[in-house]
Amino acid sequence: MSLTALAVTNRQNTPLYLRDYATESNLLFDLTTNHDDLFDDDLTPLEEITSKQKEEWPCLLKYQFILHSACDRLEQILRDNNWKSSGAVTSGMDACWVGLLCSSDNLRAYGYVTTNAKYVTLVEDSIPPENVQFQKSRDNEICVLMANVHRLYTESLMNPFTKLHSKITSQRFDRSVTNLVRSFNGL
């Protein structure tokens, strides 16, 4: 179970940070390789992103599409206000943890919401459904990882030269998040 992509958006769903970690993960199901068209029905092949797009948002298009869908699902959950069970007392990291948003292909999307940002991660779904205890353990690890990403984002906002609600360009933030992801992925 490896983290493959991460998105940070503001409350209006404008992307602030978008990155995939597929090349830095031990993926069981590798989506980065090009597979032949099994049914010979692919009329227009999907072009990978250009170098200019990769420079602006270093994330493969297939992950961008799934992250976008997960952000839509997160918005729906928040709008319906059904992400916390009624009467549940939560504090700390759990107060912001939304949890599993949706599954797509062999990926699971998780959400984390704060007052100033939304965080969505894509994690490879390689845990068998009958292994509930291990799945809960990894869910808790994802919650901790996302809380740490939020802490790093808050620290980057404390920089007086950071423009609020704009793309995160801090190399320190990127390096720190990458280290968190590598640690999560066991690299």
Q: What Å distances lie between residue 177 and 83, 99, 129, CA to CA?
A: 26, 19, 29
Query: Which of the two residues, 36 and 121, has the higher pLDDT score?
Result: 121
CB of 2 closer than 8 Å to CB of 27: yes
Distance CA 103, CA 32 (A): 18
Q: What's the CA gap between 120 and 133, in Å, rounded?
A: 23
Tokens of 64: 């961008």
Q: What is the pLDDT of residue 72?
A: 92
Terminal-to-terminal C-alpha distance of the chain: 12
The candidate with the shortest Cα–Cα distance to 153, out of 139, 166, 138, 140, is 166
The average pLDDT across 119-148 equals 87
pLDDT of residue 70: 92
Note the residue count of the chain: 187
Predicted pLDDT at 94: 75
Distance of CA 5 to the CA centre of its chain: 5
pLDDT of residue 38: 47
Name the token pair of 66.
């799934």
Q: How confident is the model at residue 55, as a pLDDT? A: 64
Q: What is the DSSP letter of 15?
A: E
Distances (CA, A) of 100 to 20, 96, 137: 19, 13, 13
Judged against a pLDDT cut of 70, whether residue 2 lies above it is answered with yes
